[in-house]
Amino acid sequence: MSAQRPGDPDPGLTNIRSRLQNYSDLGNVMAGVNLPNVKGAEAMDKLHEHGYFKDGCLKLLSLLEKVENFPADLLECIRDYNRSFKQSQEKPAVPEQATETQLHARTDGSAATPPQEVAAISAPAAAETLTPARNDQQLTVARDTSAIRERAAAAAPADARGTETNRAAPTPQTGLLTRLCANSYVLFAIAAVVLAAIIWQCLEYKVASLNKQGLNYYNKGQYNEALQRFEDALRVYPGWLGEQPSKAATYNNMGNVYHSKAEYDKSLQMFENALRIR
> Mind listing the pLDDT tens digit for each residue in 183-212?
887 887 888 888 878 887 887 888 889 999
What average pLDDT does this structure show over 108-133?
Answer: 48
Contact assessment for residue 78 and residue 68, using Cβ atoms and an 8 Å cutoff: no
Segment 5-24, tens digit of pLDDT: 545 467 888 888 888 888 87
pLDDT of residue 255: 95
Cα(229)–Cα(202) distance, integer angstroms: 17
- Interatomic CA distance for residues 21 and 25, integer angstroms: 10
Least confident of 77-81, 122-126, 151-155, 202-206: 122-126
Q: What is the pTM of this model?
A: 0.34
pLDDT in the model for residue 29: 80
Q: How many CB atoms lie within 10 A of CB 266?
A: 15
Cα-based torsion angle of the residue sequence 39, 40, 46, 49 in order, rounded to the nearest 10 degrees: 170
The mean pLDDT value for 29-35 works out to: 79
Residue 104: what pLDDT? 46
- Cα 261-262-266 angle, rounded to 5 deg: 90
Cα(153)–Cα(244) distance, integer angstroms: 73
Q: Look at residue 62 in the predicted model and tell me its pLDDT.
A: 84
User: For residue 159, which amino acid is it?
Assistant: D
